[in-house]
Amino acid sequence: MHIGVDAGNSKTAALLCCSDGRVIGTGCTGAGDIYGVARAADAVAAVLSATHHALTAAGVSPHKVKTAAFRLAGIDWPEDIAFWEEVLASELPELRHPSVLNDGFAPIRCGEPSGIAVAIVVGTGPAVAGRGPDGREWSLSWWAQEPLGATGIGHEALRAACQHKLGIGPATTLTAALPAIYHEHSVEAVLHSFTRRNNRRNWQDKGRAARTVLASAEAGDPVANAIITRQAKRFAVYARAAAIQAGFDPQGDTVPVVLAGSVVTADHSPMAEALRRELARQIPHCRLVLPTLPPVAGAALDAIAEAGVPITDDLLATMTHTLGEQDLLQT
């Protein structure tokens, strides 16, 4: 058996499978990012709970798991890896040498079975990671200094609405849309809800506006379109950086780039098209992939690969079929 766990700021998913890719157990809980929750213990509880749910669903004890791959948001520095290694050694000692990496690595094998690619995750928060031909690995983590992902889109939307109301920015449909999203009576009330001293909204709440910004961009709002374009440019530049750090030549190599996250995988997402344009500028020979498997499947594929099992088309087909039966594609 092999288990993969993918944790982000919205949810944590776990997937238990056999060496042929057959999925036999899944679990899904809350946020598993140690930087994104009130207490690190909350993220630990989410990750352990999802793992135990997957094992329990299959009636499998941890000592029967051959390899485990934990791909977790908030693994940004060496001490974060050490933190999780200590947690797993203490709470799941039966797991043998689990691998621990940033969640940006999770989608890679979903689109590139060899595991050699760059991944861009545009979810609640951002993740960019790369694994190169010589095995070098690199993730963006705190190197990103701009607000990115759904929360970054929401942050820019609120700024645009505020500037419009002050008369220092162009008109945008977002000015009317934001109060409705947050059930407030005005843009000022929305701003107050995020910045007041007491009972303020948390930063992740800004991500709730992302779908509206995407829809506004698709409908032709120039301000919303500019927000999506800026986000795409930033992600493309960081994807180039990931390719370089992982050992690719972004000018000459064919670099697979796997896209994941609700912001880019939503139907007719203008972010996906914007990324396609910007990546063509940054990595001229990139091969863009929108996988059908969720990132947690990539974590499980990493676990299988770490056991020395080739990731074949038959294995991927088996995983896709049996995962669909588990309904985890919805998580």
Q: Round to whole Å and give the CA distance between 312 and 113.
A: 8
All structural domains of the chain with their residue ranges: 2-107+291-330, 117-290
What is 117-290's CATH number? Answer: 3.30.420.40
Which tokens belong to 243? 């390719």
Confidence of residue 319 (pLDDT cuts 50, 70, 90): very high
pLDDT of residue 329 exceeding 70: no
CATH architecture of 2-107+291-330: 2-Layer Sandwich (3.30)
Confidence of residue 315 (pLDDT cuts 50, 70, 90): very high
Average pLDDT over residues 191-220: 93
Instruction: For 223-243, write each residue's pLDDT tens digit.
Output: 999 999 999 999 999 999 999
Integer CA distances (angstroms), 252 to 48, 157, 249, in order: 42, 37, 6
The predicted model scores a pTM of 0.91
Label residue 57 exposed, middle or buried (CB < 10 Å: 0-12, 13-18, 19+).
middle
User: Backbone phi, then psi, for 327, in 5-degree steps?
Assistant: 65, 15
Mean residue pLDDT of the chain comes to 94
Q: Round to whole Å and give the CA distance between 102 and 92.
A: 19
